[in-house]
């Protein structure tokens, strides 16, 4: 059975993030991640530079997420 997850997901490739950032809410928490955390960390930095203050990334990527 699937585990319920109380978050909305949006998949935005890193190369498109700067252009799509304006469509994301600045008043909500945003968690970025990738497979091993390099792109997730870069995505966090891109969003921070665009004025997003509530951004975190999953250190270790999705592989480091303790399910």
Long-range contacts, 19-25 (Cβ 8 Å, 24+): 21/46, 21/47, 21/50, 21/52, 24/52
Domain ranges of the chain: 23-64
β-bridge mates for residue 19, sequence order: none
Give the mean model confidence (pLDDT) for residues 20-28.
95
Q: How much is the pTM? A: 0.83
pLDDT at 9 over 70: yes
Per residue in 34-65, pLDDT (tens digit) is 999 899 999 999 999 999 999 999 999 888 87
């Amino acid at each position: 059975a699937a585990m319920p997850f109380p978050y909305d997901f949006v998949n935005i490739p890193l190369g498109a993030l700067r252009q799509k950032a304006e469509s994301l809410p600045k008043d909500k928490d945003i968690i970025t991640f990738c497979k091993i955390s390099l792109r997730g960390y870069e995505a966090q930095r891109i969003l921070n530079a665009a004025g997003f203050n509530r951004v975190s990334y999953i250190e270790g990527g999705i592989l480091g997420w303790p399910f």
